Structure 1
């Protein structure tokens, strides 16, 4: 491991944080644009779910080759290439005249920004010590929450002034700026031994070692349903719930999403502050998730029972109560050898964003299906969320059942 000097590490973090801010803004913007797009293109709930999920479909499709490329070529080179695809996706979305073009633009955007978190986390695995890795991960996610905050009220305010299409022209321009800053500010990736255990010549090829690892198998369902579902709520379904179940106006819904994302920003900032304290006292990711995630199940159950009475405050509490699951990302990276860090992170990210796609589209399909059975809109949403709650409970049960010798703290490798 070659740890960067403090000043260089801060500069590298800020460069990566800017790209991840734009990634998160792109990810969440459909929740604010949903009413406008639904009206202009006559979209149903399942269409909105597929459109929002298209981003994550493109995101998930790149994860397996991304991991190998990151291990081989490093964060800077890989992320520069991917951001060019994101620029193209923004332009396609901005000129779309039908649902197919909208979906194509979202898929390209998702694929293009799919390295914006995995690239820095791969770099941090080499450039930062373990405690700094946990803090940097939390603060990257805080930056992502800031991007999601920017996708709510600021976007809602700009819509009457500029329209939704010019917003994507501006995003494309900002991505080009990010590419220039990235090329200038991130260290090169040298093909050298990555730790005492495995170097590029001796590291296993492909993903078999990752898939077989007991810790990866233990946390993958949490990544799929709990982490992926949290993102699905934050970036899409909290908005339609507030409008169609709780009776919010579009502006009230955007305001609610704003405060949900502010809450997430504060939560991830707090995790970055307290993680070193937890680490020093032996409270690892597994213990924190085991203790914290049952709260998220209780909050989601309360939302299902409350129905129209559950508004933005309830969804903010739910999303915040899920944030301990984000500790799985650096834990998975540290559970495997350094030479496999890119593949370990990308494989787990594939589980997360496949989950986002499935949950976003699946809830839309479930809502439409329950409405087709002549259930009222409110009851359809509550039933769909109850199914989602059951999936989360099963994932948590699997995580707890596989405890013991599958703890991340026992498998950390240099």
Structure 2
């Protein structure tokens, strides 16, 4: 369905810069554009902006409508990527990445409103899973064609190609989405404890996912002695597994009365996959080189799916008038985790090595699991 494909592409370009910087990390570090420690701050810059602006972005989307919001999102993503491509140094790079936080904040509110308005209830969970898999499609694009383009023509050329893709998505949205209704005052949103729990879950989930996205390629190149291009394929592995996980688990969640019942299981499995990454760091080549691939697949299949299932829960319970703000509250937690996770990972690595960094990631996933397990026990009681 064209609208599903469009929403998938929108989610992909909204976070493409994250995966692209991760996949291009060896080139960025090698030419002095960014240090290993500063690499984590690039993720923090974008997602701190996204976390802070998410509540306002949700209100804006509810006010102006999803079509206008998605077109603006694609244009902003293109501008941010263009600025990354011409950044002369670390300060300019951080500023450009921070600008990229704006489309990230708008993505889930806008796409969720389209799903609630344009899809029958029976089809919404599957549509949500596919559009959330667009984030992993961005990882696949960063790890395969764009990383390959960087090896051939330089990392800046790869970033410019990504900017062109974002602009094309904006034009696509303008052509196929129906016109937004007349602007109207936004309805008040009722407080919801379950939305707060999903946001807390996504906070810790985001910490771990962002660390993996940002540092996996660099870890494979530095500790496991993989060539930069092959190490970039790990990001593609994350993308492939993430697409399958998000679509499959979202479909399963759509059959449940409470989609969030799956969240604790997904976080637990992701925690186990992160422990395998820690074992890879301890073992080094050749065993670590062999095990890093299934570990990356596990992170993609389970951790990435957790956010998608949380969005299925939002779409199930949200009203059309307030869907943007409900989505934004959950997204704010996820983005805050993306801002906090990589710097914490960098501190752990500098202090005790990559094994400690992946152990921290596992603890973050298991904390997310605990948030949902404790709630399940309260419900049963």
Please give the TM-score of this superposition, normalised by the length of structure 2: 0.88
CA distance in 1: counterparts of 2:68 and 2:33, whole angstroms? 41
CA distance in 2: counterparts of 1:147 and 1:14, whole angstroms? 13
Instruction: Give the equivalent residue in structure 1 for 2:12.
Output: 21
CA distance in 1: counterparts of 2:278 and 2:153, whole angstroms? 37
2:270, 2:299 within 8 Å by CA — same for their partners in 1?
yes
Count of residues in Structure 1 that have an aligned counterpart in Structure 2? 372
CA distance in 2: counterparts of 1:141 and 1:341, whole angstroms? 16
Q: Deviations over 1:87-133 (max 9, x none)?
A: 32122211111100111111112323432333111221222233322
Instruction: Give the equivalent residue in structure 2 for 1:330.
Output: 312
Instruction: Give the equivalent residue in structure 1 for 2:248.
Output: 270
- State whether structure 2 residue 200 is matched by structure 1 residue 218: no
SS for the counterpart of 2:179 is: coil
Instruction: Give the equivalent residue in structure 2 for 1:356.
Output: 338
- State whether structure 2 residue 210 is matched by structure 1 residue 237: no
Q: Which has the larger radius of gyration?
A: 1
> Any residues of structure 2 matched to 1:4-403 within 5 Å, and which?
10-41=1-32, 43-191=34-182, 203-204=187-188, 209=190, 212-233=191-212, 235-271=213-249, 273-276=251-254, 278-279=255-256, 282=257, 284-307=258-281, 308=284, 309=288, 310-325=291-306, 326-368=308-350, 370=351, 375=352, 380-403=353-376
Q: More helix per residue: 1 or 2?
A: 2
CA distance in 2: counterparts of 1:336 and 1:66, whole angstroms? 16
**CA 1:99 to 1:404, structure 2 compared with 1: closer, same or farther past 3 Å?**
same
**CA 1:100 to 1:216, structure 2 compared with 1: closer, same or farther past 3 Å?**
same
**CA 1:125 to 1:288, structure 2 compared with 1: closer, same or farther past 3 Å?**
same
CA distance in 2: counterparts of 1:306 and 1:75, whole angstroms? 44
CA distance in 2: counterparts of 1:119 and 1:183, whole angstroms? 14
1:242, 1:312 within 8 Å by CA — same for their partners in 2?
no
CA distance in 2: counterparts of 1:300 and 1:174, whole angstroms? 32
CA distance in 2: counterparts of 1:60 and 1:291, whole angstroms? 25
**CA 1:338 to 1:228, structure 2 compared with 1: closer, same or farther past 3 Å?**
farther
2:4, 2:130 within 8 Å by CA — same for their partners in 1?
no
Structure 1's unaligned 5+ residue stretches are 1-9, 193-199, 408-414
CA distance in 2: counterparts of 1:300 and 1:175, whole angstroms? 31
**CA 1:126 to 1:42, structure 2 compared with 1: closer, same or farther past 3 Å?**
closer
SS for the counterpart of 1:62 is: helix
Please give the TM-score of this superposition, normalised by the length of structure 1: 0.82
**CA 1:263 to 1:336, structure 2 compared with 1: closer, same or farther past 3 Å?**
closer
CA distance in 2: counterparts of 1:291 and 1:93, whole angstroms? 37
Q: Deviations over 1:333-363 (max 9, x none)?
A: 4334332110010111011011011102221
